[in-house]
Chains A and B, each alone.
Chain A
Amino acid sequence: MQDPAIQETFIRLVSEHRGMLYKVCRLYCFTDPDRQDLFQEIVLQLWRSYPAFRGEARISTWLYRIALNTAISGLRKQKRLITSVDPESLPTELQDIQYPPEKEEQLRQLYTAIDRLSEVEKALTMLYLEERSYQEMEEILGISQNNLRVKMNRIRDKLRKITQSEAYGIGKS
């Protein structure tokens, strides 16, 4: 794709949504190099698919589909994804961003909870946190709204249990 106008529109689109793309990377990768790799891969997949985008789906739906497909089902290097996670590296690990201590603690809680979810649960949680409707979630994930509601209830319970066990120090050595 060489058309500078298309390239310019695409760059604007990615810049506008880079926050969302970064969150997907943060959700599915534990280390900074892995996040960079995934980010690059998602952008390249978006770029490749962009000429075929006719606007039948909402732009957000299209973006989430590609980002989640690349993150979850893309045949990617397993090594760094599977390695056991060093609990010390779990808290936030957002390089170059300095948060106040109180927020740092909240972020640590958020990621500790989310990192214990399965890949599908992470996708659902993210879409929920991004305030996507069940209709849009269905369009992105391809599962019925009833099933989505059941799953969301389960995730709520799971997150509650995780954060409770964190608060009481259960599971910590």
Chain B
Amino acid sequence: MELESLKYIWHSLEVPPNLLRDRQSLVVLLQKKSQAPVARMRRNLIWEAVLLLTAYTPAILCFLFGFEGRLAAISWLFIIVLAFFFAYYFLKYRLLRKMQCPTCQLRSNLVRQVETLKRYTRFYLLAGTAMIPLTYALAWFIIRWKFSSAFSTLFQRLHPTPWWGSSGLWLVLLIPLTVGMYFLNAAYINKLYGRHIKKLQELLRELDSE
């Protein structure tokens, strides 16, 4: 069968009668939310941010104004963590917004998607991996800061540095944990987006091939 003869069949194709014949069903459709994964990811991100804010705010207020202000440092710690999360959400949201341009030409939209998705996954990977050393550094700092006065007392003279206070040990544990987390994140991200990135790249290759 030739392509020309397919034209006749193509033009004789009819639209199913149940497909938005009436105005009302279209109006209802316009009120719906997009179910595309990118739109859903953006909505989830907003919900995650709201949830985090709702969970952290009472804790921050409690430590800031309760206990006669003696535990205010903890609330500052929470504020710092919250600020990190919000910076992360903001950057992620911005990348998600940039990801698609439905009114662009198919090729340029594909290029845009591949580039943004790669940046998105790179950011995801870096943020996920950096979380370990950051948490680690924070925990180490709290322990050193909290127990610094204890170290200078008699206890320190008896046992200069407890095993958990040794910076070397922390460093030795930090490296395999960070490396492990990197590979774990990389595998997870690849599972989530790897196939889609590959599919987009294949489409681009096909468009460009002559």
Contact = CB atoms under 8 A, between A and B. Distances in A.
Interface of A: 7, 10-11, 14-15, 18-19, 22-23, 26, 37, 39-41, 43-45, 47-49, 52-53, 62, 65-66, 68-70, 72-78, 94-97, 103, 106-107, 109-110, 113, 118-120, 123, 125, 128-131, 139-143, 146-147, 150, 155-156, 159-160, 163
B99 to A, nearest CB: 8
Given A22-B15, A52-B103, A147-B210, A43 B26 contact: yes
B106 A14 contact: no
A94 B207 contact: no
B77 to A, nearest CB: 37
Contacts of B210: 146-147, 150
B105 to A, nearest CB: 3
A140 B105 contact: yes
A131 B3 CA distance: 12
Interface residues of B, number: 51
Interface string B176-210: 00000000000000000001100010010011101
Contacts of A95: 16, 18
Contacts of B30: 7, 10, 43-44, 47
Given A7-B27, A73-B109, A119 B20 contact: no
Contact of A18 (B20, B27, B99): B20
Contacts, number: 161
A74 B106 contact: no
A50 to B, nearest CB: 10
A156 B106 contact: no
Nearest to A82: B195
Contacts of A65: 102-106
14 contacts: A15-B23, A22-B19, A41-B34, A43-B29, A52-B103, A65-B103, A66-B102, A73-B200, A75-B36, A96-B16, A106-B9, A119-B203, A146-B210, A150-B210
B6 A18 contact: no
Nearest to B117: A75
A13 B71 CA distance: 62
Given A18-B15, A39-B19, A109-B1, A45 B102 contact: yes
B107 A141 contact: yes
A18 B16 CA distance: 10
B162 interface: no
Contact of B34 (A39, A45, A52): A45
Contact of A142 (B37, B38, B107, B196): B107
Contacts of B117: 75
Contact of A139 (B105, B195, B196, B203): B105
A159 B195 contact: no
B153 interface: no
Contacts of A44: 29-30, 32-34
A3 B38 CA distance: 27
**Interface hub of B20, B200, B210 (most chain A Cβ within 10 A):** B20
B113 A73 contact: yes
A113 B1 contact: yes
A125 to B, nearest CB: 7
B169 interface: no
B9 A97 contact: no
A160 B2 CA distance: 6
B14 interface: yes
